[in-house]
A and B are shown apart, each in its own frame.
Chain A
């Protein structure tokens, strides 16, 4: 596609439920990132995928959070037993060449998650 696509754009869920957020990166981009952004705040790194390498999970805030990337393309971020503090915008970004750290990140429009 023309850009990074995320779905759903909005998700309201009850505390304790599991949610899955999806990211379709730009075709051919080998690197994929998940960030979280609370209202009026900066971007908090969650996880980074590069090709077939093991993902960098150092930013995941708890074991309730997990992510996978199938076939080097689509990624799913899963949050189990959601808590109210999980409410935020979850942003996905992809990059054309993981080994070139000056190539820009292309962000999707995010999924706004609200936990009630």
Chain B
């Protein structure tokens, strides 16, 4: 299960607060992704990055922001604009942005709103 890690495991957010979820990988993967998982729903893509200093919006990017300053790191910030942030957040990486590359997932961060 090693290679891609997320922290913290649980995160609590107060109303109006921005919080940042960490995702780190030591697999030398170029591509990284953030997904949101809600009960009874599949994984929905928030943002993805094909290479350092580049990232693209996914299907549900509103209220989120990312950065990719280093190859191994792809932090996700949940801003106060995200009105329903309670969910399980999964980070993933793949060798490259070529189609059909396997994605490897981190252990996830569960975000709860106080």
Are A and B part of the same complex? no
Query: Which residues of A approach B to under 8 Å, CB–CB?
Result: none
